[in-house]
A and B are shown apart, each in its own frame.
Chain A
Amino acid sequence: MHGCVNVANWPLLPLWLLGMLLLTQPVWAANFQILHAETQLHEGVYLVNADMHFELSADSREALDNSVPLTVQLTFQVRRQRDWLWDQVIASVQQRYQLQYHSLAQQYVVTNLNSHQRHSFPTYAAAMEYIGRLRGFPLLDQTLLDADTRYQVRLRAELDIHSLPAPLRPLAYVSRAWRLRSHWYSWML
């Protein structure tokens, strides 16, 4: 339980809070990385294929091994590029996976929260590999796009700390170990 902070031992709570707030920044690509992503047009639908690498921090891994469900969220944004104005987000799609350790089965269960499909994996690495390999994810219909406009797709992966159990959330908000997030990975549609 070394990830927990005993607040009662901190007499200067406000200073600690302020310091934590100032120092707290997302742990960038060191843990969550998007290696490659692309879009394919298949029967009028843009499908996304992406290869990602996810590595949980020690704190989050410990929580996972203690049956705390973790949620990994992929966020896709389709942006229309404009010459004189900032880009316009015309579509935002999320793909969420819940990762949980099953004590009885001794399996890591990955649940696709969009489709509610479950997959069991005997090892953590297999589960993370499964999440990190996205194939044929339907992004949007081609008909929704203008032919003569340039579109950019962005992808970001992050650990959804809002979905954590309530007692963990305050710590997750202020601790670097819990702020796992990748850079935006962009490519042209």
Chain B
Amino acid sequence: MIDSLRHRPLLPMLLLFGLMLLALLMMSDATQHSERFNELYFWLLVFSAGGLVLLTVLIGVGLYQLMHRYRQHEPGSRLSLRLMVLFVALALVPVGVVYHFSLQFLQRGIDSWFDVRIEDALNDALELGRSALDLRMREALKQTQRIAEDLRQPNRTGVAMQLDEMLTYTEATELTLFGQNGRIIATASLDPLRIVPHQPPDIVFLQVRQGHDYLSLDPIHNVGFHIRVMVPVPSVGSADETRMLQALFPVPSRLGELADSVQSAFDSYRELKFLRNPLKTSFILTLSLVLLFGVLAAFWAALYAAQRLVAPIRELAEGTRAVAAGDYDRQLPLTSNDELGFLVHSFNQMTRNLAHARLAEQRSQQLLKRQRTYLQAVLARLSSGVLTFDHSGCLRTYNIAAEQILHTRLGKRVGRSSDDHPPNHSPSQHIQRFFEALKPWLQHPEDWRQEVTLFAGTGRLVLMCRGSSLPDPDRLRGGHVVVFDDITALVQAQRDAAWAEVARRLAHEIKNPLTPIQLATERIRHKYLKQMEPEQARVLDRGTQTIIQQVQSMKEIVNDFNNYARPTRLNMTPIAVNRFISELLYPYRSNRHGIRVVFAADTADPTLMADASRLRQLLHNLIQNSLEALSETGGQLTVCTRVCSDQGQEHLQVQICDDGPGFPDGRIGNMFEPYVTTKPKGTGLGLAIVRKIVDEHGGLIDLANPPEGGAQVTIRLPLNSPSCATTEENKA
């Protein structure tokens, strides 16, 4: 568009304007001078009309293009249109006014040439001239008639001589006698050079031949006005042909001059009067052509000037639009040194600055990206899980280790708080529990540490979480960072190590003296029992027997501790859980306390990878605990199995419930610790061993007193999880 404007054919248009102006000048000249450009007038008119049509077409095309751009909302088109309308209005109004007044002046100017009084005066002068000549003409007629009368009788000297003679006593300058058919019979003239007489028109012959006289005033070339009289010459006999006499009488020179002058003035005035309207038409035609040319030229010039003026603005607008669209390399051509040129220069400077700024920003973004990538790489290689939360508790970032430790994908939780679940997504319970456990700590202004225990689909998770507030200088970001580690194995190892130490000490400190005590007691019994009185012997027997039994009992306790503390090598085999539990419960169904034993098996009949003997010991311990709790009151013992699924990870849930007195209040938290017991004869190792076995299998155990009463033990063991074997190998 800009190029087309730049290459708009200004020169051809100026040439066209020049040619049309020249044609109009020539036309104007041709209407005023009869000689010059006469032949060309028609073609000048055609050329001018063609030029005007061409100009109209060009303007039409230009206007159409402008309107098209206007409808397309092209930048600058609205201003172009407005400028063009303004220019045209500015040009049309004065031109219209000038045209109107020119027409008025033209009409009135031409009309002012004519005056009724002048016309009357000229008519009167003509009439006067005629009257003056009329007298003379009548005299001439009389003279001619007399001559004709004289010619009636032929003279002896002949007609020619007779005519010559007559010239002398009449005022006629030429006498000619014609025959019937217009043949010249004789002629006489005062002009010696004139041989052929002035021939009258045929119609005159006709008139005279019919017996009428003919009288006229003839303007004769180089001679002036003459009175032409033609009369019939009366014939002598009826056999004679009719002859006709023509006489030419001169008009006196002064009278002739005056008549000529009146005639000339009258004819000129009459011609001028007749030509008044054609003259007006001619002038108006030329004026209108000039006006039309001027208006069309102004129209075209307005169109051209408007587009030329708006071109830099349009370029600027297009450039601005390009910059807005992200094209910072746009440079506009500097075409002028005026204010618009200054604007273009400023625009170019601005785009250059923007381009530099964008380059710098790109560099800094690349740097930031590299740093971010580096940081992500570092975070990804951290074994600790890292989570960051914003000030409203929504998850912002996480690393791969976090997903690995939590066994879940965290992408859908980004930007959401613990209460806000992603749509169409059921969060795994352990993740939900984890975020809920973290929630109160996220508002903590100080650094904090907290251990969180979860049961994931793959087993129990003990997480050591450390949190810290992020700096928020501008109150824009801030939030909290939480770093957590999976310390499940570490806790287990510490606990194992502690109890291994206890067992070692028990073995060393208690078990070693027990054998000498037992041996010494048996030796005393063996040596002195037979020698003593029956009464004393009975006392000794009871005493030594008591010692031996108690020592034996202590040995068993020490063995229990050994069993608890000793690292176990699990023999993992697939176990059909329902059948296994059903067989295990069988001996308990016929108990002496009348306790009802119920087994609610899952229909899925799950298979669990576990050590059968350890699992059996676990269930025995729990069932015996329940039976002991129900031994006095009786009731029902319920064992139920259920396969649960948590985020694609299946686990087996085993619940053992009774309707006994339940666990003592406030002691559920440490019921799994060794030496904790509520029974008078308990060693405090039953539930500890149960917990140990569950831990060995990567499971989780919960104790609870349900609202409806009794006690409830819930065990969750992972199904088809490889972690069990791994755990055991680590322990081994």
User: What residues of chain A have their CB less than 8 Å away from a CB belonging to chain B?
Assistant: 1, 4-8, 13-14, 17-18, 21, 62-63, 66-68, 100-107, 109, 111, 116-123, 125-126, 129-130, 162-163, 165-171, 173-174
Contacts and interface: CB of A to CB of B under 8 A. Distances in A.
A117 B222 CA distance: 9
A126 B279 contact: no
Nearest to A167: B279
B32 interface: yes
Contact of B285 (A7, A123, A126, A129): A7
The 8 closest A-B pairs by CB, nearest first: A66-B274, A167-B279, A4-B277, A67-B267, A104-B263, A105-B217, A118-B221, A7-B284
Interface string B563-595: 000000000000000000000000000000000
A126 B203 contact: yes
A53 to B, nearest CB: 16
B201 A130 contact: yes
B263 A102 contact: yes
A107 B214 CA distance: 13
Contacts of A125: 203
A119 B201 CA distance: 8
B278 A17 contact: no
Given A21-B46, A107-B218, A120-B216, A171 B53 contact: no
A162 B36 CA distance: 10
Interface stretch (B37-45, B70-78, B456-464): B37-45
B566 to A, nearest CB: 121
A117 B277 contact: no
A122 B204 contact: yes
A122 B282 contact: no
B103 interface: yes
B49 A21 contact: yes
B45 A21 contact: yes
B34 interface: yes
Nearest to A109: B219
A68 B288 CA distance: 26
Interface of B: 30-34, 38-39, 41-42, 45-46, 49, 52-53, 56, 103, 126, 129-130, 133, 201-204, 216-221, 225, 228, 259, 262-263, 266-268, 270-271, 273-275, 277-282, 284-286, 288-289, 292
Nearest to B225: A105
26 contacts: A1-B274, A7-B281, A13-B292, A14-B292, A17-B49, A62-B274, A66-B273, A67-B268, A68-B271, A104-B130, A104-B262, A104-B263, A105-B216, A120-B216, A122-B203, A123-B203, A126-B203, A130-B201, A167-B278, A167-B279, A167-B281, A169-B34, A169-B38, A170-B45, A173-B41, A174-B45
Contacts of B52: 14
A107 B277 contact: no
Given A122-B216, A126-B203, A168 B56 contact: no
Given A67-B267, A104-B130, A104-B263, 8 more contacts: A14-B52, A14-B56, A100-B267, A105-B218, A109-B219, A118-B219, A120-B218, A123-B203
Kindly name the residue among A13, A111, A129 whose own CB sees the greatest number of chain B CB atoms within 10 A. A13
A107 B219 contact: yes
B274 A169 contact: no
A165 B34 contact: yes
A162 B274 CA distance: 18
Nearest to B56: A14
Contacts of A1: 274, 277
A171 B56 contact: no
Contacts of A126: 201-203
Nearest to B52: A14
A104 B282 contact: no
A104 B133 CA distance: 10
A136 B312 CA distance: 79
A97 B355 CA distance: 88
Contacts of A21: 45-46, 49
Contact of A104 (B49, B129, B204): B129
Contacts of A101: 267
Given A7-B281, A119-B201, A169 B275 contact: no
A104 B259 contact: yes
B267 A169 contact: no
A4 B221 contact: no
B279 A18 contact: no
A164 to B, nearest CB: 8
A96 B387 CA distance: 118
A169 B263 contact: no
A1 B41 CA distance: 23
A69 B269 CA distance: 13
Nearest to A11: B288
Contacts of B201: 119-122, 126, 130
Residue picked from A7, A63, A125, A168, most chain B C-beta under 10 Å: A7
